[in-house]
Chains A and B, each alone.
Chain A
């Protein structure tokens, strides 16, 4: 458990003149599950998007699996295939069937033959419990089903780390559970996970650490038990009193 799969040191990022991430330090061990919460605009999305270089940072250092996230392009594609990401808005490709969505990256990034990629896609669609929807288009599925496809699509690249950016915020209440169940299962299998979410039940159940961010800083981090029952910081207390 001690191998650090993500190391972030003194990370600073600006959007123009807006200082969005300030001196972030974060180490994540292989297999660890981190939940990030915090008020809107605190920089949670920006932080996890820096981890697969969807956003570029200006200062500090990010190491994923021993590789530095910097300008060199080869590195970038390697890192992106190690890090899967699930978005709030699913971002499935609407012109492809569910199966094609999942088989796409293995075929075009990993150069896997089609049959093999589709078998892989079927395997992960079965794991997120929607194998029977494989030949439908995303527009024909419910939100919860779409988000599970998005998870399967990311898993098809066999990533070592999964990033989730508010995966359940765009869902109706009945569908939240089916997505969280899949995520819990994934956590139990030992995947390294970074989740931005306000599902505190989920945080209690699976997180090794909960991180609270505000104004671009990590204000507090702790094991869930202590984080929820005994926050050290006034700001955290206020936030928790609003979301719980």
Chain B
């Protein structure tokens, strides 16, 4: 009987692997591909050139007023940003007190970074710091009036500070609220189900601007005289409710993807509703909808600019406000300001997006 020996594996032909192989397959496979590749390259080079000209070659980098930005061929007017940076970050927060804002930013970052790094230790202490201690700390530091801190009215807050306060509150509130609403919408009890359904459909059916208007103009009409709570606070509540309605639908999508067998297996082991939900259903459902959750976060982050409508100045609002400053009126002031604000928003949103991709990969437990 002949004995069978497997053939040894040979390396793939050189023209199909490595960079050359990749380029052949992806860039130059057909005449159409070649044309597209060439056209695309030319476009990218042209666009890059325009941007570099504007942001660096023709830009002004120093100066104290508009005269710095009136060259015949003028690019970006960076001195404008430089001069207004304090305003853009803190709004009209008193300059002597901005250290308080910085401290809040710093502790926020210090709490968030180890939370986001999966291998960092002391996760439960970290969660307690972020959800228990930090909100109180931030509230006391930012509003003042306690521990000898000068009170600062929220009407004086502005810029990135307001953007972050609104976005972070919205993000932190919308996920738990959204989860509860999504669970409620699938409840067997009709009262809970219809309440959640009604809430979700009402808030999803109206524009955020309307919600903010309602919160800032209509709400006080319903409150008894003398009860008057803060405009920013009302906006925060409006944004949190609005985004939790969206979040609920995202989470519900994940809940629906969980097979019935998971509920049955959990029930057969003796786990009750809340344990099943917390240990079996939500971890899987939320993992499935990470892209949708982050999408909602990103949408929320950018929608914070709408607080402008009720007279709060977020980052974009305050940048626009300073366009009216006559000492910086140049043809390039607007575009420079918008590019700056856009870049700041983009950095935050891009970071969220990348982190979500990182988490998706990390949590994937399929055959690895």
Residues of A that sit less than 8 Å from B by CB: 52, 54, 77, 80-81, 83-85, 87, 89, 91-95, 104-105, 108-109, 137, 139-140, 150, 153-154, 157
Q: A91-B261, A108-B279 given as contacts; is B269 within 8 A of A157 (CB)?
A: yes
A-B residue pairs in contact (CB < 8 Å), sample of 5: A52-B268, A87-B264, A95-B284, A104-B279, A109-B271
In the complex, what residue of chain A is closest to B267 when comparing beta carbons? Answer: A54
In the complex, what residue of chain B is closest to A89 when comparing beta carbons? Answer: B261
A154 touching B284, Cβ below 8 Å: no
Contacts of B275 in A (CB 8 A): 108-109
Contacts of A139 in B (CB 8 A): 365-367
B268 touching A77, Cβ below 8 Å: no
B268 touching A94, Cβ below 8 Å: no
Q: In the complex, what's the smallest C-beta–C-beta distance from A102 to chain B, in angstroms?
A: 10
Asked if B148 CB lies within 8 Å of chain A CBs, one says: no
Contacts of A54 in B (CB 8 A): 264, 267-268
Q: In the complex, what's the smallest C-beta–C-beta distance from B283 to chain A, in angstroms?
A: 5
**Which B residues from 71 to 130 make CB contacts under 8 A with A?**
none
Q: In the complex, what's the smallest C-beta–C-beta distance from B118 to chain A, in angstroms?
A: 15
Cα-based distance from A169 to B268 in the complex (angstroms): 20
B270 touching A140, Cβ below 8 Å: no
Q: In the complex, what's the smallest C-beta–C-beta distance from A184 to chain B, in angstroms?
A: 22
Asked if B183 CB lies within 8 Å of chain A CBs, one says: no
B365 touching A91, Cβ below 8 Å: no
B270 touching A105, Cβ below 8 Å: yes
Asked if B287 CB lies within 8 Å of chain A CBs, one says: yes
B284 touching A80, Cβ below 8 Å: no
Q: In the complex, what's the smallest C-beta–C-beta distance from A15 to chain B, in angstroms?
A: 15
Cα-based distance from A85 to B261 in the complex (angstroms): 12
CB within 8 A of B367: which of A91, A140, A150? A140
A154 touching B269, Cβ below 8 Å: yes
Contacts of B269 in A (CB 8 A): 80-81, 104-105, 109, 153-154, 157
Contacts of A89 in B (CB 8 A): 259, 261
A-B contact count (CB 8 A): 66
Asked if B26 CB lies within 8 Å of chain A CBs, one says: no
A80 touching B270, Cβ below 8 Å: yes
Asked if B368 CB lies within 8 Å of chain A CBs, one says: yes
A93 touching B268, Cβ below 8 Å: no
Asked if B34 CB lies within 8 Å of chain A CBs, one says: no
Contacts of B363 in A (CB 8 A): 95
Q: A89-B261, A139-B365, A140-B367 given as contacts; is B283 within 8 A of A95 (CB)?
A: yes
Q: In the complex, what's the smallest C-beta–C-beta distance from B170 to chain A, in angstroms?
A: 28
In the complex, what residue of chain A is closest to B368 when comparing beta carbons? Answer: A140
Contacts of B368 in A (CB 8 A): 140
A93 touching B267, Cβ below 8 Å: no
Asked if B197 CB lies within 8 Å of chain A CBs, one says: no
Q: In the complex, what's the smallest C-beta–C-beta distance from A194 to chain B, in angstroms?
A: 13
**Which B residues from 284 to 331 make CB contacts under 8 A with A?**
284, 287
Cα-based distance from A135 to B283 in the complex (angstroms): 18
Q: In the complex, what's the smallest C-beta–C-beta distance from B301 to chain A, in angstroms?
A: 28
Contacts of A153 in B (CB 8 A): 269
In the complex, what residue of chain B is closest to A93 when comparing beta carbons? Answer: B280
In the complex, what residue of chain B is closest to A137 when comparing beta carbons? Answer: B365
CB within 8 A of B270: which of A81, A92, A95? A81
Contacts of A108 in B (CB 8 A): 271, 275, 279
Cα-based distance from A94 to B120 in the complex (angstroms): 24
Cα-based distance from A142 to B267 in the complex (angstroms): 24
A87 touching B261, Cβ below 8 Å: yes
Cα-based distance from A80 to B272 in the complex (angstroms): 10
Asked if B228 CB lies within 8 Å of chain A CBs, one says: no
Contacts of A104 in B (CB 8 A): 269, 271, 279
Asked if B62 CB lies within 8 Å of chain A CBs, one says: no
CB within 8 A of A94: which of B264, B272, B284? B284
Contacts of A92 in B (CB 8 A): 265
In the complex, what residue of chain B is closest to A100 when comparing beta carbons? Answer: B279
Q: A105-B271, A139-B366, A139-B367 given as contacts; is B284 within 8 A of A91 (CB)?
A: no
Cα-based distance from A94 to B280 in the complex (angstroms): 9
Q: In the complex, what's the smallest C-beta–C-beta distance from A94 to chain B, in angstroms?
A: 6
Q: In the complex, what's the smallest C-beta–C-beta distance from B193 to chain A, in angstroms?
A: 20
B262 touching A91, Cβ below 8 Å: yes
Q: In the complex, what's the smallest C-beta–C-beta distance from B19 to chain A, in angstroms?
A: 33
Closest 3 CB pairs of A and B: A91-B265, A91-B261, A105-B269
Encoded as 1 (CB less than 8 Å from any A CB) or 0, chain B from 253 to 282 comes to 000000101101111111110010001100
Cα-based distance from A84 to B265 in the complex (angstroms): 10
Contacts of A157 in B (CB 8 A): 269-270
Given contacts A95-B287, A105-B269, A108-B279, 12 further A-B contacts (CB under 8 A): A85-B265, A87-B261, A91-B265, A94-B284, A94-B365, A95-B363, A104-B269, A109-B270, A109-B275, A137-B365, A140-B368, A157-B270
B365 touching A80, Cβ below 8 Å: no
Cα-based distance from A52 to B284 in the complex (angstroms): 25
B271 touching A95, Cβ below 8 Å: no
Cα-based distance from A92 to B264 in the complex (angstroms): 11
Q: In the complex, what's the smallest C-beta–C-beta distance from B263 to chain A, in angstroms?
A: 9
Q: In the complex, what's the smallest C-beta–C-beta distance from B342 to chain A, in angstroms?
A: 38
